[in-house]
Structure 1
Amino acid sequence: MSSKKNLKKELGLLDVFSISTGAMFSSGFFLLPGIASQYTGPSIFLAYLVAAILIMPAMFSIAEISTALPRSGGAYFFLDRSLGPMMGTIGGLGTYFAVIFKTAFAIIGIGAYAVIFWDVSIKVVSIAATLFFTGFNLVSTKKTSGIQNFFVIALVIILGTFIIDGLYTIFFSDATLAKTTLKTNFSPLFTDGFRGIIVTAGFVFVSYLGLTQITSVAEEIKNPERNIPLGMLLSLLVTGAIYVLGVFIMVSVIDPGKLSTDMAPAATAASKLFRWLPDKAGEYLMIGAAMAAFASTGNAGLMSSSRFPLAMGRDKLFPPIFSKVGKKGTPVPAILLTSSLIIFFILILSEEGIVRLASTFQLIIFMFINFSVIVFRKSNIDSYDPGYKSPFY
C-alpha cells in the first residue's frame, strides 16, 4: 500500500446524487416524523421544509470549497486550510464522529426492521450489515457507488409511488376526505407556534446531514466543478420534496393522537394506502423501502466517513498507516478503523442521544464552513480558484 497514491476519479453526477441522497434517506423519513411531531404537531412537515432551507448556505459554501480544493477529507480539509490546523482537527474529528453516529443509527435500523420478520438480535444483524458494507468498500469505490445507485433508484421509485398514491387518496379518491383531514388532523396546525417549528427543524436537521457527505470523496469525483454543486442541488430538491410531501401524507392519514408515539409512521401510513395492492402489501413495500434506505445510508456513510482518517493520516494527525491506499485504490486501513468504530457505537450508544449529538455538532461545523468561504475570499489567495462560487456573496 502507498501513502502517495491518489484515489481514482471514478464518480460521476449520478454517483454524487446517489451518495448524497442515499445518505439522507433513513431515520429522517422512517423513524423521526412521529417522534418530532410532539414538538410542533401537524406542522411537522413544514419543519422539514425549514430545515432544508437552513442547510442551503452550507451546501453552497461546501460546493464552492470542494471545487477549489477537490480533496478527500471534507470539513477537516476545508477548515485546516482556512482556519488552521487546530480548527481543522476539531472540525474533522467532529464531522467524522457525527457521520459515524448517523451511519451507526441507520445500520441499527436494518436490525430493527429485520426483527419484524425474523427472531434475531438487532445488534447481531446490525454488526453483520456493517461487515457486509465493509467488504464492498474494500473492493472498489466504483462498485460501492454502483450499489449505492441501485439503492437510491429503488428507494426514490417506492417513495414516489407512496407520495402519488397518498396525495391521490387524500384529495381525489374521496371528495370529503380532504376536508375532514384538514379539519381534524391539521387543527391546530401549530401546537407550539414559531418556537415549535424552529425547535423541530433543529431536531430533524439530522435528516439532511448526508447532503454534504459527498465532500469527503471529492477527490474521486470527475469534473467536480459541475458534478458537485449540481449533484448536491438535485439531491436537496428531490429529498426535500419527498420529506415534505411524505410527512404531510403521514400526518394526513395517521390519527393525531397516535402519530407522536409511532416509531414506524411510514409503514403505518402505507398500511392505510395502496388499496390497489393485496392486503398488507403496501405496508411490506414500505418496510422494504426502509430497509433499502437504511442500507443506502449505511453504505454511503461508511464510504465517506472512512476518508476522514485518510486525510488526517496524510497530514500526520493520525498514524501514517491511515494515509495508505490499497492496490484497488481504496483506503483499506481507514475503512477498517471506521467500520470498527461503527460496530463499537452500535454496541454501546442509544439512538436518540446519537441523533441529537450529531445534529448539534454538525450545525456548528456548518457555521465554521460558511466562515471559511469568507476567509478564503478575503485572503485573496491566488491558488483559491473555485469552479463554482456560492451565490449571494
Structure 2
Amino acid sequence: MASETGEVAPAANREGETPVLERTETGDEATVVEEGTELERTIGLRGGLAIGIGTMIGAGIFVFPGIAAGDAGPAAAASFAIGAVIALLVALPTAELATAMPRSGGGYYYISRGMGALFGAVVGLSLWFGLVFASAFYLVGFGFYAQAVLDRLGVSLGGFDVVIPLALLCGAFLTVLNVTGTENAASLQNAVVGILLAIIVSFLSYGGLSAVGVVGAAEPIGEPFLSQGALSVLTTAALVFTSYLGFAQVATVAGEIKRPSRNLPLAMVGSVVVVGVLYVATIFVAVSAFGSQRLSTLGETAMVAVAESFLGPLGAIAILVGGLLATVSSANASVLSTSRAIYAVSKDALLPRWASRISLRYGTPHVALGLAGGPILLLVALGEVEVLAEVASFLHLIMYGLMCVALVALRRNEPAWYDPDFRVPAYPLVPVLGALASFALLGFMQRLSQVVGLAIMLLSAVWYYYYAADVTLRGVV
C-alpha cells in the first residue's frame, strides 16, 4: 500500500508470471519503473470528445426519456440537470488526475496511486463490472431500437422477440472490432457521433420551436412540474446518471490520447457540457409534446413516437437511425473502456498478468477485450434495463467519489511525480462537493441495485486479500 509520501514499493513477482515492475539500483537508492509495452497514442481531441459524447448521448436521449418521465414527470429535466452538475464536479478533478497520470485505466489508476492498492483493487475490479453493466444496458437499448426498425419495415418474425439476440450479435461484433485496432473503433466512434449530433440538433430545433408554439399545432400539456413529488427528482437522477459515464471513459483510455495535457481536460469537461444541454432540452421537448404519462407508456423507444408526431414517418426513421447509432456508439466506447480497466489492473498484478497481454498483430489488449466481452454478453441475456443502468451508476459513483478523495490526498502529500498540467479551479471546494454529491446520490437508488453494487465491491475486496494482498504499487515515474 502507499506510504506516507505517496511512494510505494514494487509489486511482488508471482511464480510463472512476468514481473510487473522492474527494480534498478542507483547508488544508495532504488528506483522502480513500470515494465511492459504501453499502448500507442492514436486518439486525438476529436476522438476523446467522440468517446465522451458518444457514450453519454445514447442512453440519455434515446432510451431514458420515457422511463424518466414516468418516474419524475416534467421534472425529469431537472434530474438530468442534477446529473450533469455532479458529473461536472467530478470531471474537473478527473481532468487534473488524468493530466498528472495519463495512463490507461482511468479511475482505477488514480485511486490506486492516491489511496493505495486495496482501494485501487476494489475500484478497479468494480469498474470492470460497472462498465460491463453499462455496456449491457446500451446493447439492450440497441436491441429495442433494432426491433423497432424491423417492425417499421414490416419484417415479420412470427412474434419472436429479437431484442436480446440482436443485442448479443452487436456485442460480439463490437468486441471483435475493438480487437482489430483502437483506430478502427475510434473511426467508427467519430463517424457515428457526427451523424448523431446532426440528427439530434435537427430534432431539437424543430421540437423546441413546436414546444413554444412557433411551428406546428401542439397544445400545452399543463402538467405540474413536480407532478411526481420532489423526491422523485433525486431518485430519477440516480437512475439516469448512467447517461453521464462517458467522461470517465475518456480517462480509461488516457494512455492512448495524443497531447493529454490539453486534450484530456477539454474532452472530459466538453463532453459533459454538450451532452448535459442536449439531455435537458430533449426531456423538455418530449414532455411538451406528449406529457409525462403518455410518454412513460412508450418505454425505451418513446422518442420515435415524439419525432413522428413532429415530422411524420421521416422523423420516426431519423430517430430510429439515431437510436441505433447512439446505442452502438455507447456500447462501443464502453467495451473499449472496460478492456482498458482490465488491462490496467492486470498490469499492476491485481489480476493475473496474462490479462494485460497485447496482440502483436493489432496492438490491442485482446485478452482484456475477451474478459470484457464475455461478461457483457451474459448480462445482455438478462435484459433488465433499469437494474443494469443503476448498478452501473452505483459502481461509477463510488469511483467518482473516491477519485475526488484521491485528488485531495495527492494534493496534500504532493509526491514528486505528481505534476498535473491542469489544476482544478476552486480547490478544495470542487473535489469535496464532487465526493459528497457522488456518495449522496447512492442513497436514492433502488435496493436491488445497492445490494448488487455492494456485493461486487465486497467480492473485489475478497479477491484482493486472496490474490493480491502482497502487491504494492508506486507512483507514476
Instruction: Show structure 2 runs of 5+ residues with no match.
Output: 1-17, 19-34, 428-477
Tell me how far apart the structure 2 counterparts of residues 74 and 175 of structure 1 sit (CA, whole Å). Answer: 46
Matched residue, 2:418: 384
Tell me how far apart the structure 2 counterparts of residues 66 and 46 of structure 1 sit (CA, whole Å). Answer: 29
Aligned with residue 356 of structure 1, among 372, 381, 390:
390
Asked whether the equivalents of residues 39 and 255 of structure 2 are also in contact (C-alpha less than 8 Å), the reply is yes
Matched residue, 1:265: 302
Matched residue, 2:188: 147
Matched residue, 1:326: 359
Matched residue, 2:214: 173
Highest RCO, 1 vs 2 (Cα 8 Å, sep ≥ 6): 1
Larger helix share, 1 or 2: 1
Deviation at 1:193, TM superposition (A): 4.2
Deviation at 1:257, TM superposition (A): 2.7
Tell me how far apart the structure 2 counterparts of residues 351 and 142 of structure 1 sit (CA, whole Å). Answer: 30
Asked whether the equivalents of residues 203 and 359 of structure 1 are also in contact (C-alpha less than 8 Å), the reply is yes
Tell me how far apart the structure 1 counterparts of residues 226 and 46 of structure 2 sit (CA, whole Å). Answer: 38
Deviation at 1:192, TM superposition (A): 4.2
User: Structure 1's 348 and 46: CA in aligned 2 closer, same or farther, altered over 3 A?
Assistant: closer
Alignment of 1:332-347 (within 5 A): 332-347=366-381
Deviations 1:30-89 (A, max 9, x none): 222222223321121121111101111211111111110111111211111111111101
Deviations 1:366-393 (A, max 9, x none): 1111000000000021110001111110
1:60 and 2:92 are equivalent in the alignment? yes
1:14 and 2:46 are equivalent in the alignment? yes
Tell me how far apart the structure 1 counterparts of residues 128 and 70 of structure 2 sit (CA, whole Å). Answer: 30
Alignment of 1:172-191 (within 5 A): 172-174=213-215, 177=218, 180-181=219-220, 184-185=221-222, 187-191=223-227
Matched residue, 2:64: 32
Q: For residue 93 of structure 1, what is the amino acid of its counterpart? A: L
Tell me how far apart the structure 1 counterparts of residues 409 and 302 of structure 2 sit (CA, whole Å). Answer: 44
Q: For residue 350 of structure 1, what is the amino acid of its counterpart? A: E
1:93 and 2:93 are equivalent in the alignment? no
Alignment of 1:219-258 (within 5 A): 219-258=255-294
Tell me how far apart the structure 2 counterparts of residues 381 and 355 of structure 1 sit (CA, whole Å). Answer: 37
User: Structure 1's 188 and 348: CA in aligned 2 closer, same or farther, altered over 3 A?
Assistant: closer
Q: For residue 307 of structure 2, what is the amino acid of its counterpart? A: A
User: Structure 1's 51 and 356: CA in aligned 2 closer, same or farther, altered over 3 A?
Assistant: same
1:201 and 2:233 are equivalent in the alignment? no
User: Structure 1's 29 and 79: CA in aligned 2 closer, same or farther, altered over 3 A?
Assistant: same
Deviation at 1:316, TM superposition (A): 1.1
User: Structure 1's 97 and 78: CA in aligned 2 closer, same or farther, altered over 3 A?
Assistant: same
TM-score of the aligned structures, taking structure 1 as reference length: 0.93
Tell me how far apart the structure 1 counterparts of residues 292 and 354 of structure 2 sit (CA, whole Å). Answer: 53
Matched residue, 1:82: 114
Asked whether the equivalents of residues 74 and 92 of structure 1 are also in contact (C-alpha less than 8 Å), the reply is no
Tell me how far apart the structure 1 counterparts of residues 194 and 165 of structure 2 sit (CA, whole Å). Answer: 28
Deviations 1:103-143 (A, max 9, x none): 11111122222222043622221121112112211111112
Deviation at 1:156, TM superposition (A): 0.6
Tell me how far apart the structure 2 counterparts of residues 103 and 124 of structure 1 sit (CA, whole Å). Answer: 15
Deviation at 1:349, TM superposition (A): 5.4
RMSD over equivalenced CA pairs, Å? 1.7
Deviation at 1:365, TM superposition (A): 1.6
Tell me how far apart the structure 1 counterparts of residues 407 and 340 of structure 2 sit (CA, whole Å). Answer: 22
User: Structure 1's 125 and 193: CA in aligned 2 closer, same or farther, altered over 3 A?
Assistant: closer
Matched residue, 1:308: 341
Aligned with residue 167 of structure 2, among 117, 123, 126:
126
Deviation at 1:262, TM superposition (A): 2.0
Instruction: Determine what percentage of the aligned residue pairs are the same residue.
Output: 30
Asked whether the equivalents of residues 74 and 287 of structure 2 are also in contact (C-alpha less than 8 Å), the reply is yes
Matched residue, 1:163: 204
Q: For residue 346 of structure 1, what is the amino acid of its counterpart? A: V
Matched residue, 1:108: 140
Asked whether the equivalents of residues 41 and 256 of structure 2 are also in contact (C-alpha less than 8 Å), the reply is yes
Matched residue, 2:448: none
Deviations 1:216-271 (A, max 9, x none): 11000011111011111221121111111111000000144312222122111101
Matched residue, 2:329: 296
Tell me how far apart the structure 2 counterparts of residues 166 and 20 of structure 1 sit (CA, whole Å). Answer: 25
Deviation at 1:157, TM superposition (A): 0.5
Asked whether the equivalents of residues 254 and 268 of structure 1 are also in contact (C-alpha less than 8 Å), the reply is no
Q: For residue 277 of structure 2, what is the amino acid of its counterpart? A: A
Asked whether the equivalents of residues 40 and 190 of structure 1 are also in contact (C-alpha less than 8 Å), the reply is yes
1:51 and 2:99 are equivalent in the alignment? no
Instruction: Detail structure 1 runs of 4+ shifted over 6 Å in the superposition.
Output: none
Which 10-residue stretch deviates more, 237-246 or 287-296?
Answer: 237-246
